[in-house]
Chain A
Amino acid sequence: MTKYTSVSIPLTLHKRLEKIIAKKTGFKSVSDYVTYVLREVVAMHELKDTPEPFTSTDLDEIKARLQALGYL
Chain B
Amino acid sequence: MSKKVAVLGLDSVPPEMLFHKLIDKLPNFGKIYREGIHGSLRTCDPPITVPAWMVMMTGKNPGELGIYGFKHRRGYSYSDGYIVTSTNVHEKTVWEVLSDRGRKSIVIGVPPGFPVKHVTNASTISCFLTPSSDRPFTNPGELKDEVVKAAGGKYIFDVTFRTENRADVKKELFEMTEKRFDVAEHFAKKPWDYFMMHEIGFDRLHHAFWKFFDPKHPKYQKGNEYEGIDLEYYSMVDRRIGRLIPMFGEECTTFIVSDHGSKAMKGGFCVNQWLEQEGYLAFKKRPDKPIELDKVEIDWSRTKAWGWGGYYARIFFNVKGREPQGIVDPSELENEKRRLAEKISKIKDHTGRTMKNWTTEPLKLYGTAIGDKPDLMVYFDDLDWRSAGTVGHDSLYLFENDTGPDDSVHSMDGIFMMHKPGRDLKGREVSGARVEEMAPTLLKLLGIDPKGVGLNGKMIEAALEGAAP
Interface centre among B48, B83, B204, B207 (most CB of A within 10 A): B83
Minimum CB–CB distance from B5 to chain A (whole Å) comes to 14
Q: Are A62 and B401 in contact (CB under 8 A)?
A: no
Report the nearest B residue to A57, measured CB to CB.
B131
* B389 part of interface (Cβ distance < 8 Å): yes
Minimum CB–CB distance from B369 to chain A (whole Å) comes to 21
Q: Are A46 and B131 in contact (CB under 8 A)?
A: no
Contact of A61 with B131 at beta-carbon distance under 8 Å, contacts A69-B161, A71-B69 already known: yes
Q: Are B311 and A71 in contact (CB under 8 A)?
A: yes
* B115 part of interface (Cβ distance < 8 Å): yes
Which of A36, A59, A71 contacts B310, CB < 8 Å? A71
Q: Are A39 and B83 in contact (CB under 8 A)?
A: no
* B87 part of interface (Cβ distance < 8 Å): yes
Q: Are B87 and A70 in contact (CB under 8 A)?
A: no
Q: Are A36 and B129 in contact (CB under 8 A)?
A: no
Q: Are A26 and B103 in contact (CB under 8 A)?
A: yes
Q: Are A72 and B71 in contact (CB under 8 A)?
A: yes
- CB contacts (< 8 Å) of A32 on chain B: these are 102
* A66 part of interface (Cβ distance < 8 Å): yes
Minimum CB–CB distance from A46 to chain B (whole Å) comes to 7
State A50–B121 Cα separation when bound (angstroms). 20
Q: Are B406 and A25 in contact (CB under 8 A)?
A: no
Q: What bracket does the count of chain B residues touching chain A fall in?
A: 35 or more
Q: Are B101 and A69 in contact (CB under 8 A)?
A: no
Which of A61, A68, A70 contacts B409, CB < 8 Å? A70
- CB contacts (< 8 Å) of B71 on chain A: these are 63, 66, 71-72
Q: What bracket does the count of chain A residues touching chain B fall in?
A: 20 to 34
- CB contacts (< 8 Å) of B207 on chain A: these are 69-70
State A68–B201 Cα separation when bound (angstroms). 15
Q: Are A33 and B102 in contact (CB under 8 A)?
A: yes
Q: Are B158 and A67 in contact (CB under 8 A)?
A: no
- CB contacts (< 8 Å) of B386 on chain A: these are 70
- CB contacts (< 8 Å) of B160 on chain A: these are 65
The DSSP consensus for interface residues of chain A is helix
* B395 part of interface (Cβ distance < 8 Å): no
* B70 part of interface (Cβ distance < 8 Å): yes
State A61–B38 Cα separation when bound (angstroms). 38
Minimum CB–CB distance from A38 to chain B (whole Å) comes to 9
Contact of A72 with B70 at beta-carbon distance under 8 Å, contacts A39-B120, A53-B115 already known: yes
Q: Are B101 and A27 in contact (CB under 8 A)?
A: yes
Report the nearest A residue to B128, measured CB to CB.
A65
Q: Are B447 and A25 in contact (CB under 8 A)?
A: yes
- CB contacts (< 8 Å) of B193 on chain A: these are 26
Q: Are B114 and A25 in contact (CB under 8 A)?
A: no
Q: Are B101 and A62 in contact (CB under 8 A)?
A: no
Q: Are B102 and A25 in contact (CB under 8 A)?
A: yes
Minimum CB–CB distance from A41 to chain B (whole Å) comes to 10
Contact of A70 with B401 at beta-carbon distance under 8 Å, contacts A43-B120, A53-B87, A65-B158 already known: yes
* A12 part of interface (Cβ distance < 8 Å): no
Minimum CB–CB distance from A45 to chain B (whole Å) comes to 11
- CB contacts (< 8 Å) of A47 on chain B: these are 118
State A37–B44 Cα separation when bound (angstroms). 34
Report the nearest A residue to B104, measured CB to CB.
A26
State A50–B160 Cα separation when bound (angstroms). 28
* A55 part of interface (Cβ distance < 8 Å): yes
Q: Are B102 and A69 in contact (CB under 8 A)?
A: no
Which of A43, A53, A61 contacts B118, CB < 8 Å? A43
Q: Are A72 and B389 in contact (CB under 8 A)?
A: yes
Minimum CB–CB distance from A23 to chain B (whole Å) comes to 10
Minimum CB–CB distance from B244 to chain A (whole Å) comes to 25
- CB contacts (< 8 Å) of A69 on chain B: these are 161, 203-204, 207, 406
Q: Are B309 and A53 in contact (CB under 8 A)?
A: no
Between-chain CB contacts (< 8 Å), 28 pairs = A24-B101, A24-B102, A25-B447, A26-B101, A27-B101, A27-B102, A28-B102, A36-B102, A47-B118, A53-B114, A59-B83, A61-B131, A62-B129, A65-B158, A66-B83, A67-B403, A68-B403, A68-B406, A69-B203, A69-B207, A70-B207, A70-B310, A70-B311, A70-B386, A71-B49, A71-B69, A71-B310, A72-B70
16 additional contacts (CB under 8 A) given A53-B114, A65-B161, A69-B207:
A27-B101, A28-B102, A36-B99, A36-B102, A36-B120, A40-B120, A54-B131, A55-B131, A59-B83, A62-B83, A62-B129, A62-B131, A66-B70, A69-B203, A71-B311, A72-B310
Q: Which 3 A-B pairs have the closest CB atoms?
A: A26-B102, A43-B118, A27-B102
Instruction: Name A residues whose Cβ lies closer than 8 Å to a Cβ of B.
Output: 24-28, 32-33, 36, 39-40, 43, 46-47, 50, 53-55, 58-59, 61-63, 65-72
